[in-house]
Structure 1
Amino acid sequence: MPWKRTNLSLTFCLLVGLLSHTSIAQNNDTIIFTGSQYYPPLQWLDENNQAQGFITDLEQELANAGEFNIEQRLIPWNQALGLVLTGEADAVALIPSEARSAYFDFTEPFYYVAHGIFSHRSGKQFGSFSQLKGKRVAVAAGAFAAQQLTDTPQNFEVIQASDELNCLQMVQTKQVDACVEVTTTSRHLITNYNLDLIQSSPPFWPQSYAFGVKKGNTALLNRLNENLAMLQVNGTYQAVYQRWVQQLEWQERTLSDNLRALGWLLISLLLIAGFGFFWTYLLKKQVARKTYRIQQELAAKTILQKKLHYLSQHDAITGLLNRPAFTEKLDQEILAAPEVSPTVVGIRIANIDSITSVFGYNIATDLMIEFAERLQKNGFKNAAHFGVGLFAAVADSHLTNEQIVDLAMQPLKFKSIDFEPLLAFGLIRNSQLSFAEPPDAQELLRQVLTAVSVSQKKHKLWVVYSPGLEPNADDLRLLKDFHQAGTRDFFLHYQPKYSLSDNAVKGAEALLRWQHPQLGLVPPSKFIPLLEETGFVTQVTRWVITETIAMMARHNLCRTGLVISINVSTRDLTELGFVSFMRHAVKDIDPHCIQLEITETGLIDDSERALYVLSKMNDLGISCSVDDFGTGNSSLSYLSKFPVSEIKLDRSYVYDIANNERNHKIVKSTIELAHTLGLSVTAEGVEEHETVEILRDMKCETIQGFVFSRPIPESDLIEFLKSSPKLKASGEA
């Protein structure tokens, strides 16, 4: 990095200080910096008399960091030093020296400079002090060089110049033989003032540059040091230096520099010319290779575009049309013959998931490919595959429904495996519906897929579409409203369960109700199947369990020994997380107060999962009951595998046992077998006193029905339990 000098004849400075006018008190918020007006690029006055330079900018950044104002006075150098000593200025940038330390305190250095000997270009060039013997040598008054040459005896005459520029101008006019000055600033002055001088010696006297304050002004010294350190730490100093680095390190180019640059230029041109021919050859080869590659890429792109176009219209597995392409071709057929609606067939391989699970994905894929080929070979037009074993095609309108189905109902045989896929057909025919205008392909496809869905759901081989297959509008509205409102409009009623052995209320069953804002009270038989079919039932079941347990906690019903039954579906039992949900739900009550009622048919659907969940419920202390017993396909021997404690006889067997001998025997034998297995029995749908007495004789433990109580709200249940009503004997009014 370049260097800076500052020196002063101390005697001269004292003289200037004594001659200066009275010191001006420093404003507490303003620091006055002084310096040389001829010291570019460190500091100088421009043509507008404005302070410029690296040091000038650094002083401004010091003011910004320290949040104080500054005033900058650039004057002849010897006068600048005098202003600080007399107190008219606060600080000056200079080269610290032992002699100056008697009058100044110095900050940490912030820059470095060196000196050199400057000679006339057309005269003798002086490379060292020894060559100046007997010569006249100029120095700026008060400068570091002046002090150095004064303190050290020399064999040449030292001439005091008024300032740095005057020192160089004296060499230009040949008043002196040489000038000793700072190299960086002198090179700029020589160029700026068009002086015919050169630096004839190597750099010498490398010195640091710092801010000097009047001796003893410790507060200002510390303030400047602190802000200098801050500029170094936050990068501001580096930013200021980078703004001036080109001028700080600049020097005029010499003839040798220009010749050297010209030589390198010629060498570069020769190298470029030599490599030019070689590069031209390589470029031609490269162009040829790239042209060939572009041709290959264009050919590959054309093939890819064709492939993408094919894939945009065809199923990747079977090669049949996809849904958009099928719909487009169906629209074209309708437009070609608008008076006749085509016969559209939808086909689903209903057991494709089971085939995948048993035989693997590859076999299932081969099956779909084989079935696709069968459709194409047997005359189905525009055959399409929509994914996961769902197909559609246009059939010959002259064929009957049975003939259309027969064309697709042929066993598949491949890889030594005989398959008879379980198919579900949906059809829509041109003769079954009349259209005021040509039908839309999307609508026809929707209708035929509706027929396929009904066919699969009702386990029929084929179903012909009719408007009656459309989903019930009220059902769709209920599902939509539930999706939006959730359980907001749900509430619970409770139907008491009466013990025949001690004529007291034994428990109650929580029953779900829905008070719809527009439709009113919706029957459970209406909305519960919808919730089960759509999978929303698990969300609702958890709500019922949470609300029931909260009700029991409010009234401390576990203390009375009352057991509340809650209906759960087999979907709830097979749902992951049900066991942990129940464990958390009953953590604050006695789990023995809760009983789960599961439909008998559900136990058959997934017996392994049911056994696991019911065993966990039994471990928690939650008892389980089989609801609607007798309506499914299970047996008491089957139920003996599960940890259930009760069965509930379905009302279809109970309500007429007084008059129906067959049902009487079924109920009686079921109760006896249940007791043999150690299970208790609850009879549902008891509406007559005579039925009560028959069940009492059969040793049935509990009854539930209108003869005792209808389902009632929470508040009525609490009052009902307080009154502890007794069931009237048969024949009483």
Structure 2
Amino acid sequence: MATCCKRLIVSFLVCCGVLPLASFAAPEELTFVGSKFYPPLQWLDANNEPQGFIVELEQALANEGDYPITQTLLPWNEALQAVRTGQADAVALIPSEARSEYFDFSEPFYYVAHGIFSHSNGIQYGNYAQLEGKNVAVASGAFAQQQLSDSGYNFELISASDELHCLQLVDNRTADACIEVTTTSRHLITNNKLQVALSSPPFWPQSYAFGVRKGNKELLALINKQLAMIQVNGTYQNVYQKWVAQLEWQERTFTSNLKALGWLVFGIVSMAAAGFGWSYVLKKQVALKTYRIQQELDARKVLQKRLHFLAKHEVITGLYNRPAFTELLDKQIKAHPEDHPTVIVIRIANIDSITSLFGYDITTDLLIEFSERLKKQGFKYAAHFGVGLFAAVADAELTTEAIIDLAMQPLEFQSIDFEPLLAFGLIRHKDFGTIQSNDAQELLRQALTAVSVSQKDHKLWVEYSPGLEPNADDLRLLKDFHQYGTRDFFLHYQPKLRLETNTILGAEALVRWQHPTLGVVPPSKFIPLMEESGLVTQITRWVITETIAMMKRHKLCQKGIVISVNVSTRDLTELGFVQFVQNIVNDIDPKCLQFEITETGLIDDSERALYVLSKMNELGISCSVDDFGTGNSSLSYLSKFPVAEIKLDRSYVFDIAENDRNYMIVRSTIELAHMLGISVTAEGVEDIATINVLREFNCETIQGFVISRPISEDEIVGMFLREIKI
């Protein structure tokens, strides 16, 4: 009977659009991870067994879905990393903009606040301003770490290994304060007898949700389904009621103990007077019990009402969330197919910059203010999908210009002189065929496609057309790379000839992709795609690793051979790149490794580029500017960055024997480089006449088809130190 009722509930939720139509395949097993120092939400007991509210909630999800789970509690940063690397499936955490780069989030299931914790016998810090110039501890990987990094306040952050360590740093006075979740910290302070106390009002009220690895939509849908089911059938409420006393617990103070003693004295006096007023006392006790029961019922109704609201609304703005918005749009299309609604998606393109400049609190206020604008401007209904992405529905009669005018009304916002940079994507239902059962989802997807193109092309608005759809092969390449990584990649090497000796003293490592079904995919096809998707750093690390392994196999460093590797500007801005290079060159002479950086990209973050290139120079790794002459700041780079070599772009080199203009450009560039103590490599050399001109200019090295096309490892090793008759 229970199984039948459960199936009826699921069917009802699917029909209402609360759950998607797609079937959910029960997994063989799910691995949940979390923090080992986070009572009462989750912690390890004396037997190293997971305990806590979230632990039991995860077990309830597994029981509802009838699949086994593994629960592992670790230091917090390790738990996050386990999900990011695929070693675990899900983790309970606070959703944030920074974490959305690596995680997708379920619907919220609990709410927490943060606070400032100070030493009990020291200064009690009550707000950010009082922490200026102080040492503030924060757990590594915690929500608070990113918030404090973006706050703009001048205090020194100390990274703690976990939540308990954060509080211990205050207890031993290594840190002036720790910023952590109030509920868990109170338990940790009492359990570990720390001289630490909450010294500020609670702030940053945030939801708790389950996070899965970015792109794992099937697992996310499964968790959302089970969350909905345990809320509907009362399981969530049972788990919450079991833990509510600990979730709302606070350590007893001297005042509370005094009150307790007073009640004890009162009880003794009452017992002494029982013979005189038994009937009256009994009546009062019944009334008090009745009042408390009524309070509990009222609190449960408030919580259920709040959970029902959050099931359909986004917590910050109060607008509809994505499932509720899609459900409303689907109902509108089915009820009034002749209305032809227009779906608009709006993205605040510069929301990251606003957060960095003004802080998270200002960004939150901006999102709320912009939401109020959408409510007041006559749209039928609107939604916030998170991270500054909004959607709205307008009547088909409104022109595109009128829609944008409505959403672009000036903000009167805290007297701060800025306007958000908006990008619009629109789709008009009447323009694309008959109504289908999945029109709401498809219309929203098309509008999202349009807004992505709008932001990418720096346009105010783009209206959807089929020509905006991404290339199917590109999507396939991205999918396969996510699934298989660099499994099907290999390296070719293009030799570099030293003109002075006519010998091959180096080569450039070039990555190739032997796709199982598409064949050899040229780098010009997949490298820009990986750069745009932020995946190129994985490829760069693989190329560096494979190149160094090849150099070790053939002992190239002992022979004075230099192998160059292409490094993108995204690699230079990756925080762990310097440490990665320092670790991997331990077993070789760094002087036999060279990095080629595309000159057009350095301007994106010149300060970071200067730092990284300086570190490489200190290691002994020389840096070359690739495609020199094709960017806008060539001369400034020569003076600003520690460059050992420039590579003249083939567009200037290939015809210098016939083109007087390119002849003069190449000659003057080589002369300038030599005056600055920089060597020159010419790319794209394809004939003897070009070689003769480059000899005349005293160019050190050439590279091109006149010597060799890119070749395999065995072939290039056979060419090293050989004299080439040219």
Tell me which residue corresponds to 1:245. Answer: none
| Paired position in structure 2 for 1:676 | 675
Query: Does the aligned pair in 2 maintain the 1:383–1:391 contact within 8 Å?
Result: yes
Shift in CA distance, 284/700, structure 1 to aligned 2, threshold 3 Å: same
Deviations along 1:118-138, one digit per CA (max 9) or x if unpaired, are xxxxxxxxxxxxxxxxxxxxx
Give the equivalent residue in structure 1 for 2:390: 391
Rounded to whole Å, the distance in 1 between the matches of 2:295 and 2:486 is 64
Distance 1:709 1:339, change over 3 A: same
TM-score relative to the length of structure 2: 0.60
Q: Which residue of 2 aligns with 1:377?
A: 376
The match for 1:322 is: 321
1:468-523 deviation digits (Å, cap 9, x = unpaired): 32222222222222223222221111101112233222311011111112221111
In structure 2, C-alpha distance between the alignment counterparts of 1:666 and 1:600, rounded to whole Å: 17
Is the 1:381–1:394 contact (alpha carbons within 8 Å) kept by the matching residues of 2? yes
How far is 1:308 from its partner? 3.3
Task: Give me the whole-angstrom Cα distance separating, in 1, the residues matched to 2:508 and 2:647.
Answer: 12
2:90 corresponds to = none
Q: How many residues align?
A: 456
User: What pairs with 1:277-288 in structure 2 (closer than 5 Å)?
Assistant: 281-288=280-287
Q: Please give the per-residue CA displacement for 1:97-122, whole angstroms capped at 9, x wherever unaligned.
A: xxxxxxxxxxxxxxxxxxxxxxxxxx
The match for 1:635 is 634
In structure 2, the partner of 1:10 is: none
SS at match of 1:316: coil
Contact 1:647–1:680 (Cα < 8 Å) also in 2: yes
How many Å apart are 1:336 and its aligned residue?
A: 1.5
Equivalence map 1:77-92=2 (5 Å): none
2:68 corresponds to which residue?
none
For 2:551 and 2:515, locate their aligned partners in 1 and report how far apart those are by CA, in whole Å.
Answer: 26
Tell me the residue number matched to 1:658. Answer: 657
Deviations 1:17-59 (A, max 9, x none): xxxxxxxxxxxxxxxxxxxxxxxxxxxxxxxxxxxxxxxxxxx
1:562-592 alpha-carbon deviations (Å, 9 max, x no partner):
2111111122222233223222322222211
SS at match of 1:431: helix
Amino acid at match of 2:601: G
- Paired residue type of 1:589: I
* Separation in 1, partners of 2:677, 2:404: 53
Alignment-derived partner of residue 563 in structure 1: 562
Distance 1:707 1:487 in 2: 31
Match of residue 413 from structure 2: 414
Amino acid at match of 1:413: E
Tell me the residue number matched to 2:67: none
* Cross-structure match for 2:599: 600
Distance change in 2, residues 1:388/1:436 (3 Å): closer
Alpha-carbon distance in 2 for matches of 1:331, 1:344: 12
Describe how 1:413-562 pairs up with structure 2 within 5 A. Answer: 413-435=412-434, 437=436, 439-562=438-561
Do the aligned partners of residues 707 and 378 (structure 1) sit closer, same or farther apart at CA in structure 2, a change above 3 Å counting? same
Change (3 A) 1:400 1:696: farther
Distance 2:300 2:582 in 1: 61
Q: Distance in 2 between matches of 1:538 and 1:365?
A: 32
Q: Equivalent residue for 2:700?
A: 701
Displacement, 1:704?
0.7
1:452 shift after superposition: 1.2
Contact persistence 1:349–1:389 (CA under 8 A): yes
Q: Distance in 1 between matches of 2:403 and 2:666?
A: 49
Q: Partners of 1:460 and 1:723 in 2: how far apart?
A: 54
Distance 1:346 1:547, change over 3 A: same
Larger radius of gyration: 1
Q: Distance in 2 between matches of 1:293 and 1:569?
A: 65
1:610 matched residue in structure 2: 609
TM-aligned CA distance change 1:658 to 1:429, over 3 Å: farther
**Displacement of 1:382:** 0.6
Q: Secondary structure at the match of 1:541?
A: helix
Contact 1:490 1:513 in 2 (8 A): yes
Closer, same or farther: CA 281–348 of 1 in aligned 2, 3 Å: same
Mean CA deviation greater in 617-626 or 300-309: 300-309
Q: Which amino acid aligns with 1:362?
A: D
The SS at the match of 1:685 is coil
Q: Assess if the C-alpha contact under 8 Å between 2:561 and 2:720 holds in 1.
A: no
Moved over 6 A (4+): 274-277
Q: Percent of counterpart pairs with the same letter?
A: 74
- The Cα shift of 1:408 comes to 1.7
* Native 8 Å contact 1:411 1:418 kept in 2: no
**Could you say which residue in structure 2 is the equivalent of 1:190?**
none
Deviations 1:254-289 (A, max 9, x none): xxxxxxxxxxxxxxxxxx9x9799655433211112
Aligned partners of 1:413 and 1:419 also within 8 Å: no
SS in 1 for 2:624: strand
Match of 2:486, SS?
Answer: coil
Report the counterpart of residue 224 of structure 2 in structure 1.
none
Residues 359-368 or 327-336, more deviating: 359-368
Aligned amino acid, residue 328 of structure 1: E
Report the counterpart of residue 179 of structure 2 in structure 1.
Answer: none
Structure 1 gap ranges (5+): 1-271, 728-733
The amino acid of 2:673's aligned partner reads A
CA gap 1:434/1:507 in 2 versus in 1, 3 angstroms: same
- Aligned to 1:512, the other structure's residue is in SS state strand
Q: Tell which deviates more after alignment, 616-625 or 671-680.
A: 671-680
Structure 1 pair 374–664 and aligned structure 2 pair: CA distance change class (3 A) = farther
Distance of 1:411 and 1:665 partners within structure 2: 54
Question: Helix, strand or coil for the counterpart of 2:642?
Answer: coil
Q: Which amino acid aligns with 2:560?
A: G
SS class of match (1:584): helix
**Matched residue, 1:139:** none
User: 1:363-388: CA deviations, max 9, x gaps?
Assistant: 22222222222222222121111112
Q: Could you say which residue in structure 1 is the equivalent of 2:622?
A: 623
Q: In the TM superposition, what is the alpha-carbon distance from 1:314 to its structure 2 partner?
A: 2.2
Q: Is the 8 A contact 1:338 1:438 kept in 2?
A: no
Q: SS where residue 413 of structure 1 aligns?
A: coil
Q: Does the 8 Å contact 1:341/1:439 carry over to 2? A: no
For residues 302-329 of structure 1, give each alpha carbon's deviation from its aligned partner in whole angstroms, at most 9, with x where no partner exists.
4443333333322222222221221121
Structure 2 regions of 5+ residues with no counterpart? 1-270
Counterpart for residue 342 of structure 1: 341
Aligned counterpart, 2:586: 587
Task: For residue 438 of structure 1, report the CA deviation from its aligned partner.
Answer: 5.4
- Comparing 305-314 and 627-636, the one that deviates more: 305-314
The amino acid of 1:694's aligned partner reads V
Q: Cα offset for 1:615?
A: 1.3
Residue 352 of structure 2 aligns with an amino acid whose one-letter code is D
Counterpart Cα distance in 1 of 2:616 and 2:660: 38
C-alpha distance 445-277 of structure 1, shift in aligned 2 (>3 A): farther
Alpha-carbon distance in structure 2 between the residues aligned to 1:353 and 1:537:
22
- Contact 1:682–1:700 (CA under 8 A) maintained in structure 2: yes
In 2, Cα distance between equivalents of 1:431 and 1:668: 61
Deviation at 1:722, TM superposition (A): 5.9
Distance 1:524 1:378 in 2: 48
Deviations for 1:372-430, whole angstroms, at most 9, x for unmatched residues? 22222222121111112111001221222222222222332322222221111111012
Gap change, CA 1:496 and 1:332, over 3 Å in 2:
same
Distance 1:306 1:551, change over 3 A: closer
Residues of 2 paired with 1:665 and 1:525: CA distance? 30
Q: Which residue of 1 aligns with 2:715?
A: 716
For the structure 1 residues 617 and 660, does the alpha-carbon distance in structure 2 shift closer, same or farther, using more than 3 Å as the test? same
User: In structure 2, do the counterparts of structure 1 residues 670 and 303 end up closer, same or farther at CA, with 3 Å as the change threshold?
Assistant: same
Q: Deviations for 1:630-650, whole angstroms, at most 9, x for unmatched residues?
A: 222223233322111011112
Aligned CA distance change for structure 1 residues 321 and 650 (closer, same or farther; 3 Å): same
What is the distance in 2 between the residues matched to 1:666 and 1:340? 63
Which residue of 2 is the match for residue 358 of structure 1?
A: 357
1:691 maps to what in 2?
A: 690
Cα distance in 2 for partners of 1:390, 1:306 equals 26
